[in-house]
Homo-oligomer: A and B are copies of this chain.
Amino acid sequence: MVPDSIGWSLDPQLERDSVAAGDLALCQIRLMNDANYPWLLLVPRRRNVSEITDLTDADQAQLMREIAQAGRALKAETACDKINVAAIGNVVAQLHVHVVARFRNDAAWPKPVWGRLPARGYEKEAIDRLLTTLHRRLANAPA
């Protein structure tokens, strides 16, 4: 059987803005290179998918499980006040789901993060540390 992910490739803008943080069954998990907020992207490894409803029912169900998994990992990692989840895609058409850890004292609170502040790149040590712990939390979480 040919895997559904054959021929899939990551959108170049998503690739520039974020770094790989691991693969779950459906999605590539990426960490946005923006130290303003701990911010994951979940990108289903499926070709030509822009809307959630472009996924099969089984993939939609798996996407929800991975959104929950990413949210739990991020909350455990950061002890944030709120998780924000969104699939917007008005600029980058490739389906990607934002899972963002928000704090009552973050720079954009209580507004959503999109289009609010310029990205502030991580220091190399900080992003390496965050990737290591996130990767472990995602790997150990129930799918």
A residues lining the B interface (CB < 8 Å): 50-53, 57, 60-61, 63-65, 67-68, 71-72, 75, 82-91, 102, 109-112, 114-115
- Report how many copies the assembly holds: 2
- Would you call the interface of chain A mostly helix, strand, loop, or mixed? mixed
Nearest opposing residue in chain B for A115, CB measure:
B111
Q: How many Å from the CB of A18 to the closest CB on chain B?
A: 18
Which 7 pairs between the two chains have the least Cβ-Cβ distance?
A86-B86, A90-B110, A64-B64, A85-B87, A112-B114, A84-B88, A53-B68
Cα(A71)–Cα(B60), bound, Å: 13
Contacts of A50 in B (CB 8 A): 82
Cα(A72)–Cα(B61), bound, Å: 16
Contacts of A87 in B (CB 8 A): 84-86
